[in-house]
Amino acid sequence: MKRTLIRNLITIVGLLTGAALLNAGEVKIELGGNDMMQFDKTELRVPAGSTVNLTLNHTGKLPKAAMGHNFVLLKAGTDVAAFAMKAVAAAATEYIPEGDEVIAYTALIGGGESTSVSFTAPEAGTYDYICSFPGHFAIMRGKLIVE
């Protein structure tokens, strides 16, 4: 009887420890984009392998057609300018072109809207993120640093 109780306690402690580890692997990020074509953060840091829950908030008022914003995370080594050029032609898919350069992306949103995406942080390194709406990447870009 006593032995079972101890065994159950050990199991519970084990489960709690496991849950704590899982929590440590989750990262929440809030990123803003405004009517001035700016992200409010140009550097994001996350642990390798963590689950990243990123929410993009469009804090402006302009409609999606005029000032649409998204978050597009690119694989290491991607030619950002070349990718952005390709994206311009991909209006039908919210400026996400075909290809394998993208690690994760959000929907395209207009003023006052929010959208989220979850992805697993890649291996340690530095990754570019941009808004792929035509003309925005030159200013709307930043680095995701995976540690």
Beta bridge partners of 128: 143
- Angle at CA of residue 36, ends 32 and 38, nearest 5°: 40
Backbone angles phi, psi at 112, to 5 degrees: 85, -5
Q: C-beta of 68: minimal distance to Cu ion in Å?
A: 6
- 129 vs 133 by CB, closer to Cu ion: 133
Q: C-beta of 42: minimal distance to Cu ion in Å?
A: 14
The reply on whether position 127 binds Cu ion by CB under 5 A is no
Span interacting with Cu ion, options 14-22, 24-32, 113-121, 137-145, rule CB under 5 A: 137-145
- Residue 61: closest CA among 108, 110, 111, 109: 111
Q: From the list 84, 131, 144, 146, which residue makes contact with Cu ion (rule: CB under 5 A)?
A: 131
Backbone angles phi, psi at 51, to 5 degrees: -90, 120
Contacting residues toward Cu ion, per CB under 5 A: 69, 131, 133, 136, 140
